Amino acid sequence: MNSIMERPRIGAVRRRALGNTVSDLVRWTFLPELGQYPAVCEPVTSGVDLPTWAAHHWEEIHRRLIENSGAILFRGFPVANVREFNDYINAVSGGALEYKFRASPRTQIQQDLNVFTSTDYPAEESIFAHNEHSYSPVFPLYLFFYCDVPPTTGGETPIGDTRLMQRQIRPDVFEKFVRKKIMYVRNFGDGFGLPWQVVFQTSDPAEVDAYCRNIGVQTEWKSGNRLRTRQVGHALLRHPVTGEPVWCNHGTFFHELTLPAKAREELRASFGPEDLPQNTFYGDGTPIEPEFIEHLQGLYRDVMVMFPWQRGDVLMLDNMLSLHARSPYTGPRRVLVAMAKACRAEDLRIEEQAQ
């Protein structure tokens, strides 16, 4: 196993005394109804501080994350607030990232913390399975969720094993995506989706151009201060720890066929394929076969599993090895999210993409 993990910023964790030897304080189990995914870490006695325990055991956490297909649920720890959640992120990852080149509406919880609400979509809507930010030339390797307020019903964050999904992709679909790559086209300022000022966290077009140029995204400014971006990404990337090729892309998630039917019909009535708020094509700009997208949609759905949130739950995902989604819900749901360990897709490209 390769390692890109530097020792996290343990000094940034507010260390607390541990009453027993740290090796005796937790047990590793699974949720009986879900088999061996995700792994579950629980304290064996009350009062075990998760950030402090994690600061001693970050190497074990990362090892188990890889062995358990990239998902660990920390349950039963007294994680009382967003700052303690952030302390855990510091302990295992070196700190949460800013959220730039956004695709989802989120609210930053505190100005001094890179912790956000999970996607601010209406409660009755589902969010399709995806690897976070995998459309971007720079994406997070780690993803963290914290349940501050569980919903009354529903509102799960389904997760899925990317490796399992990848093994089931039809050879003809797999080969064509890998060979031709994926073009992501996004449009801002047409009255749908996020404004570019929110996506890039600036109101200066020159700053947008500079940011995009630095990460390999083309910008095209249209009349009326509207923006179109394009970039080509790989369907497969090399995992920076294990070295394995991983299906990690937004080819299905950003495709127009993954939009809810009503929204898709409304947008198609006003925009062509390249003018939709977001859409995907093969890397040469040609359309992706609808049947290929439908095949992939079915595979994503089939591998997802879910569990009800409990107050104080912390879910850590390897963002390449685990997918995530969101179920509709009722009641006051407050699940927070943070990202860590920036990776550049170009650094992880596989020289011979046909696998």
Residue 230 lies in a domain: yes
End-of-domain residue from the set 298, 320, 336: 298
The pLDDT value recorded for residue 8 is 54
Same domain? 148 vs 182: no
What pLDDT, in 10s, does the model give residues 110-154?
Answer: 878 999 988 667 889 999 999 999 999 999 999 999 999 999 999
Same domain? 233 vs 269: yes
Of 4, 11, 17, residue with least CA distance to 90: 11
Same domain? 212 vs 338: no
Same domain? 331 vs 282: no
Helical pair 290-303 and 171-180, crossing angle rounded to 10 deg: 110
Residue 280 lies in a domain: yes
Same domain? 128 vs 147: yes
Lowest mean pLDDT among 63-72, 140-149, 256-265: 256-265
Residue 312 lies in a domain: yes
The pLDDT value recorded for residue 15 is 40
Tokens 């389904």 appear where?
A: 158
Same domain? 274 vs 238: yes
The pLDDT value recorded for residue 168 is 98
Same domain? 124 vs 171: no
Per-residue confidence band for 73, with pLDDT thresholds at 50, 70 and 90 = very high
The pLDDT value recorded for residue 70 is 97
How many alpha carbons lie under 13 Å from residue 192 in its C-beta half-sphere? 15
Same domain? 25 vs 72: yes
Q: Retrieve residue 337's tokens.
A: 């999210």
CATH code for the domain of 169 = 3.60.130.10
Per-residue confidence band for 6, with pLDDT thresholds at 50, 70 and 90 = low
Q: Are 259 and 299 in contact (CB under 8 A)?
A: no
Per-residue confidence band for 258, with pLDDT thresholds at 50, 70 and 90 = very high
Q: Would you say residue 42 has pLDDT above 90?
A: yes
Would you give the DSSP letter of residue 42?
Answer: E
Would you give the DSSP letter of residue 244?
Answer: -
Residue 176 has φ and ψ, to the nearest 5°, of -70, -40
Q: Tell me what the mean pLDDT of segment 215-227 comes to.
A: 94
What pLDDT, in 10s, does the model give residues 237-248?
Answer: 999 999 999 999
The model carries a pTM of 0.89
Per-residue confidence band for 23, with pLDDT thresholds at 50, 70 and 90 = low
Rg of the chain's alpha carbons, rounded to an integer?
A: 20
Mean pLDDT of the chain: 90
The pLDDT value recorded for residue 109 is 79
| Euclidean distance between CA atoms 353 and 107, whole angstroms | 37
The pLDDT value recorded for residue 352 is 57
Same domain? 25 vs 152: yes
Range of the domain at 228: 165-298
Domain count, the chain: 2
Same domain? 94 vs 211: no
Q: Would you say residue 213 has pLDDT above 50?
A: yes
What pLDDT, in 10s, does the model give residues 83-115?
Answer: 999 999 999 998 999 876 655 666 887 878 999
| Euclidean distance between CA atoms 349 and 355, whole angstroms | 12
Q: Would you say residue 14 has pLDDT above 60?
A: no
